Structures are given as C-alpha cells and as structure tokens.
A and B are shown apart, each in its own frame.
Chain A
Amino acid sequence: MSALPVLAPWAGRSNGRDRHRIEFRGVSSGYHGKRVLEDLSFVIEEPAIYVVLGPNGAGKTTLFRTLAGILEPYAGAVEIDGIDIGRHEARTRLQYLSHIDGMPDGLRVEEALRFYATVEGVTDREVERVVRLLGIEELRGRFFSELSQGQKKRVSVARVFLQERCIYLLDEPTSNLDPKLAREIRDLVLALSRDDLVLYSSHNLFEAKEIGKYVLALRGGRVGYFGLLSDLLPAKYLIGIRAEGAEGVLAVSSKRGDYYVQELAGPEEVPKLIAELVAKGLRIREVKEMENPLEDLFA
C-alpha cells in the first residue's frame, strides 16, 4: 500500500521505541465459572506477529478477551509490561479487534468512528486519517447496518488504527474481506509488527504461514505449541503443478483436481523439479503448496 508511510506515521519506526512484554502466568479463564483456558503460561516480548491458532472452541477468543482485560482470570496473572491487566494503565497499551464488528446501532460510519475516537481520546483528525488509510471514504455517510460484511470488517479494522498502541490483538482481521483488501490489511499489520507485538488469529492457514513469525497454538484451552513457525517442519512437502502436456511425464494417479501432486523433501527442491519438468516439455501454468504444516496443529 503506497500511502502507508504517510497515513500510518508510526509504521517503520524502530529506534527509540521501548520493548514491551506480555506475560501469562498460570492463567485460567472462561465464562460463568466454566474454564476455557487452563493454566496458560507464556511470555511474548519480541516485536513480531504471533499467529494464534486452534480449532473452534480451543480458546482463541477467550485468550484475546482475557488479554484485553475483558474477562477476569479465575486464576493466575496477566501482565502488560509488568502491570496487571486489571489496571487501566495496562489496557491503554493495547488495541483490540474482536471477531465481532462492535459498531453501535444508529450511527453512520463516520459517527461510529468518532464514537470510538471519543473513547480513545483522539481527535477527529485521526478519524480522517483512518478513513483514508482503509479507503472507506465512500462509506463514511452510510449507516453501518447498511454495509456488506466486507465493508463492515473494513470499518471495524479502521478503528484499530485510530490510536497508536504497542500491543495489537487482532481476532480474525481479514475474515469476510476480498483478497485485495485482505492483502492490504496484512501489509498494515506487518508494518505494525516491526515495532509492536501483534497477536493475530486466523482460520486461513496460508495467511497465517505468510505473515506469522511465531505460532501460539491452543488445544483444549492449553498451549499446544508455542514457538517459531519456521521450526514447524512438515513431515512431507507436497506441491501441486497445473500444466499442459503433463500426461506421460507426471503420474495421473497423483492428480488432485487440476493439479499433479509431487512429494518433495522441502521447498528447496522446487526449482530443480520445475527445471526438469520444463526441460521435458511441460508448459507449467501454476505451482502451489498443497498442504500447510500448520494443519498439523489442528489434528
């Protein structure tokens, strides 16, 4: 997004910024006495995107709500920069995007953003900035309830950029968005992650793999895996090749839809295989990964 450096003035800054820290110590949390998260402990302090993954019901939203100070833990402690999340000072360091739009009824888009600007304590100038940043100029006069799901998500995401914070909790920020806008949002989030801590949940594993540096996988309310995404080595690396003239060169039995599936030791073998196939006269139209190592975290 070319306008990003102007519209998001904090993006790209790396000097003179304080490092921040999220700490969960033995946290159990949930709803109405029923525990969804159980004895969760981890520390996050390196600026990066931490992809939060897990099957439905694993506790992703509960994790975000607990970290945002919305849910009070039944046990343990949540701290931001050493400050208990129950304190207002801790909450003002983070920005939260729920999977629900959270836009008030009875307000037009611009009014709704001003509503949150008031809550954030920022001026209308910031509203103007995020309207341009998210490209929602044409929506500003419309009632939120009249918008499509994708438009609602754009407006909802705009709120995140009203105020610069150092920790961003983004619960499915690209759901319901078309690919182009999803890409723009991911670029914005990547810019944030240069200096800030970003927790990002998504059901799109290819997106998660593309932007995440770390993975925090929840399983049954506990940490199933927490580490570098690059450390998640796939058991096998499958690529799909869509090509003309593949009969006789690639086994038909390996075909899934339009793609001939090839098993390789790793991504490094792809160029060599492609070169060999081209040498054999294949006209390759597309090559793509057929499986994602993150899928194993859902098993």
Chain B
Amino acid sequence: MTDESVVLLVARTPTLTGTTIRRTITVGWRYLAIGTALSLLLAFLLLAGARSGSAFARTFPLEVPLFAILGSMGGLMTFTSDRTKGVFEYLIAYGVRPRTLFIDGLISTSAMVAIILGLSLLVGFGAADAYGVTLSADLVQSVALYTVPMSFAGALFTATVGMIWASVSTPRTGINSPIGIAPMVGIAPTVLVLVVANTVPPSEFYYVTVGAAAAIIAAVVGLLVMSARLMGRERFLSSL
C-alpha cells in the first residue's frame, strides 16, 4: 500500500446511523407494528366507548408512552445482536468509537419512538376529530408535556438499561439477552405514573406527569454518564 493510498484511507469514519435505523426497523418491525397497532386500537376503543371525549383526553396521552416503549425494542435488539454477533468488534477495528455505537443504539430507538408517536398521534387525533371530540388545550398540553417526552424518555431508559445490561453480562444459554425483561423494567416508571396520576387531584395531574417525565430524563442522563465509565471497549465484544 502506498503512502498516498494510506492518506486517502484516513478519512473520517462514515456515519452508520442511517443504516442502523433501517436495520432496526427490519429487526424490530414486529414490535414496531404491535406498538403502533395497540396504540391506535386504544384510541379507537376510547373514542368508540366514551364518545364524550373526556376518557380519550385523560387516558390516551397517559398510555401512548407504554406502547412507544414496547414498540421501540428494535433499537435494543439490534444493539444486542450486533454485540453478540461480533459486528461491534469489526466496527471498532475500523475505528468507530464505542461511544458512537452506544449513541447509535439510542438514536435508532428514538427513531422507532418517533414513528409510533407520529402515527399514533396523527391517527388518534384524526379519529378524535372524526368522532367529534374537541382537541382541548389540556389534551394538547398533556401530549406536549407528558406523552412526547415520556415516550422518548421511557424508551431511552429501557434502551440504556438494556444496553448496559447486555454489555456487562456474560451470555449464557437461554439468558443471553436483556430483551425479555427490559420492556418490563422500561415501562415500570410509566405504569407508576399511570397509577399515581389517576389518584391525585386534577390540579396536581401536571406536576405528577411532568415531574415523572423529568425524573426519567434525568435517570437516562445519569445512566449515560455512568455508562461512559462502565462501558470499556471490551464490553462491546462478543464473548462467543
């Protein structure tokens, strides 16, 4: 290899984010489809059952994050698969930084959330309008302050916990992936909010929901900081 060709090779490592998102859709399309379908089913059930619109306005924004979290599992699945199958080993050898691999996992998870949220809100609000339910300022506020941030925060929390779990654990037969339990860990805070939000007076509703979303976001940031110290490059290698 001549020095000239070596210089040409010393280019910036290409971004793989777009490819990772496409692969995440392929790998996790079942989760994506089920998460979106359940979210839409909920919207139609609430609209068809209540008609008044109050049940839709109060319940729909609170429950969509659950389906967004479940539906975004493709991000974690892709990360876990890439680690186990040695894809990360190659990418690190090519000069891709481990941190980039971690961040790509979070970005692809966010992309899945964006797809589910986009479809759920678009179709859900469209259906509400068709049913004659007024899209009140409170509903829009709930979606903006809780549904959207909590969906992203909950999914990123699930993905972060799952990725750290996958990276620090040693694969064993039958227990080689966090995919089975990560959704349960991930939706726990959202379920807690559901329970608490339905027991507090309406005046405290926003404090609970927005506070919970902020707490999960803080947890995600904390985990990310912690992961920078926990996740040495050997954590990204397959132990097979």
Contact = CB atoms under 8 A, between A and B. Distances in A.
Interface in A83-130: 88-89, 91-93, 96, 98, 100-107, 115-116, 118-121
Contacts of B87: 102-104
A287 interface: no
A164 interface: yes
A96 B95 CA distance: 12
Contacts of A164: 1, 5
A124 B110 CA distance: 30
A93 to B, nearest CB: 6
B92 A70 contact: yes
B23 A104 contact: yes
Contacts of B232: 32
A106 B78 CA distance: 9
Contacts of B227: none
Contacts of B141: none
Among A71, A101, A119, A165, find the residue whose CB has the most chain B CB atoms closer than 10 A. A119
A68 interface: yes
Interface residues of B, number: 36
A159 B86 CA distance: 14
B208 interface: no
Interface residues of A, number: 38
B89 A98 contact: yes
Given A18-B3, A32-B232, A89-B6, A102 B19 contact: no
A265 B94 CA distance: 48
B234 to A, nearest CB: 5
A65 to B, nearest CB: 7
A105 B14 contact: no
B2 interface: yes
Contact of B95 (A17, A31, A65, A92): A92
Among B1, B85, B92, find the residue whose CB has the most chain A CB atoms closer than 10 A. B1
Contact of B1 (A18, A31, A71, A88): A18
B89 A120 contact: no
Nearest to B98: A70
Contacts of A96: 90, 93
A53 interface: no
Contacts of B54: none
A27 to B, nearest CB: 15
A59 interface: no
B93 A31 contact: no
Nearest to B86: A100
A70 B95 CA distance: 9
Q: Is the interface of A mostly helix, strand, loop or mixed?
A: loop
B86 A65 contact: no
A51 B87 CA distance: 25
A118 B85 contact: no
Contact of B85 (A101, A115, A163, A166): A101
B230 to A, nearest CB: 11
A115 B93 contact: no
A100 B86 CA distance: 6
A120 B81 CA distance: 21
Given A91-B93, A92-B10, A115-B19, A106 B1 contact: no
A212 interface: no
Contact of A105 (B1, B27, B90): B27
Interface string A241-273: 000000000000000000000000000000000
Interface string B15-54: 0100100011011000000000000000000000000000
Interface string B75-112: 00010011001110111111110000000000000000
Given A88-B13, A121-B9, A69 B23 contact: no
Interface string B157-185: 00000000000000000000000000000
Contacts of A98: 86, 89-90
Contacts of A79: none
A23 interface: no
B9 A116 contact: no
B86 A18 contact: no
Nearest to A30: B234
Interface of B: 1-3, 5-6, 9-11, 13-14, 16, 19, 23-24, 26-27, 78, 81-82, 85-87, 89-96, 232-234, 237-238, 240
Closest 7 CB pairs of A and B: A100-B86, A106-B26, A102-B86, A92-B9, A166-B1, A106-B27, A68-B93
26 contacts: A17-B2, A20-B1, A70-B89, A70-B93, A88-B13, A92-B6, A92-B9, A93-B9, A98-B89, A100-B89, A100-B238, A102-B90, A104-B82, A105-B78, A105-B81, A105-B85, A106-B26, A106-B27, A116-B90, A118-B14, A119-B13, A119-B14, A119-B16, A119-B90, A165-B1, A166-B1
